[in-house]
Amino acid sequence: MTWLDILYHPIWAVSTALLALVVRIQRRGRWDPQACTVQLKGKTTIVTGANTGIGKFIALDFARRGARVIMACRSESRGTAALGEIREKTGNSDVHLRLVDVSSLDSVREFAARILEEEKALHILVNNAGVSGLPRGITKDGLEVSFATNHLGPFLLTNLLLDLIKRSAPARIVNLSSVNHKKGHVDFSHFHGENLTYYMDKVYNHTKLHNVICTNELARRLEGTGVTATSVHPGIVMTEVLRHYPLIVRLIFNLIGFFFFKSAEEGAVSSIYCAVAEEMEGITGKYFDCDCSLTLPGPLARDAALAVKDFEVCERLTSKL
């Protein structure tokens, strides 16, 4: 038997087909949003970063269910294009674009003020907007830019909208984290850009750990209000998330991802599950995996004392005082 015989042996074709089948089943997950008949007519929802990737499919799903959807995006042109697409696909004209740059505390305050002025209720808030691989940068609030975008901006947004959300109970807050939070560390000097290593997803991992920690503490503070807060991992998803990475990394990601990673639509499923599924009613302070299963987050995300401290630090960093 030559090397060529081995290379072209039918066993490879069969095992590749089997592997693809297994990956396909795993990618589909165990909950099907299209089979979920929950309607959101009369409910108001906000999805940040809704112009592309996972956020766009979350907004699309809410629009299909008849919700009033506020797409919170930073780019008017990209937001308008996605808005048109969602309205056209769903026939729901109650979908709106509001501009916000979640990395800027002033922009978040302006956005929240407008929402509080215009909206009578807010039943679902999905903090989806996020970045990975950004180079070092300090915002005009003195915050490290990845931390501002992925954690402190969304943290402030949630707190500013919290009274409205509580008045709208039952209501749900869903925060997009990542399984990468398990590789993150807590060091409060990170918030100001100190002691950070800028290599691949290292900074991102810390920000995603703060997402889970503060979601858990928020859930504890919200006990008895009828408002739940959960964090989710969407899976490894083929989106624009690697746009700040070197070309070679993006090429490899896309090549492998074509076969094995989730599409943006599939990546939206665990967030939609937490936001709308009936069986999620009352479930709070938990972390959900990309197949919608309840999963233990990393050890640091289970440290209740650390969560109290982290939440207080973030409150101080985002307060005007």
Ligand X SMILES: NC(=O)c1ccc[n+]([C@@H]2O[C@H](COP(=O)([O-])OP(=O)(O)OC[C@H]3O[C@@H](n4cnc5c(N)ncnc54)[C@H](OP(=O)(O)O)[C@@H]3O)[C@@H](O)[C@H]2O)c1
205 near ligand X, rule: CB under 6 A:
no
Q: Which of 67, 102, 174, 212 binds ligand X (CB under 6 A)?
A: 102
Stretches 16-24, 38-46, 237-245, 302-310: which one binds ligand X (CB under 6 A)? 237-245
Catalytic choice (204, 245, 273, 287): 204
**Is residue 190 within 8 Å of residue 202, measured between CB atoms?**
no
DSSP state of 176: E
Residue of the chain from 103, 205, 270, 284 that contacts ligand X (CB under 6 A): 103
Q: Please provide the DSSP assignment of 227-290 as one string.
A: EEEEEE---SB-SSTTTTS-HHHHHHHHHHHHHHSBPHHHHTHHHHHHHH-GGGTT--SEEE-T
Q: Does 49 bind ligand X (CB under 6 A)?
A: yes
151 DSSP 8-state letter: I
What is the longest distance spanned by two Cα atoms in the chain? 77
253 neighbors 237 (Cβ within 8 angstroms): no
223 interacts with ligand X by CB under 6 A: no
240 lies in the binding site for ligand X (CB under 6 A): yes
Residue 90 sits in the site that holds ligand X (CB under 6 A):
no
Q: Measured between alpha carbons, how far is 277 from 242 in angstroms, rounded to an integer?
A: 30
State the binding string over 246-285 for ligand X (x if CB under 6 A, else -).
----------------------------------------
Is residue 158 involved in binding ligand X (CB under 6 A)? no
Q: Binder to ligand X among 44, 45, 51, 205 (CB under 6 A)?
A: 51
Q: Which is nearer to ligand X, 268 or 307 (CB)?
A: 268
Q: What whole-number distance in Å separates Cα of residue 291 and Cα of residue 29?
A: 4
204 has catalytic annotation: yes
The count of residues interacting with ligand X (CB under 6 A) is 29
Residue numbers annotated as active site: 204
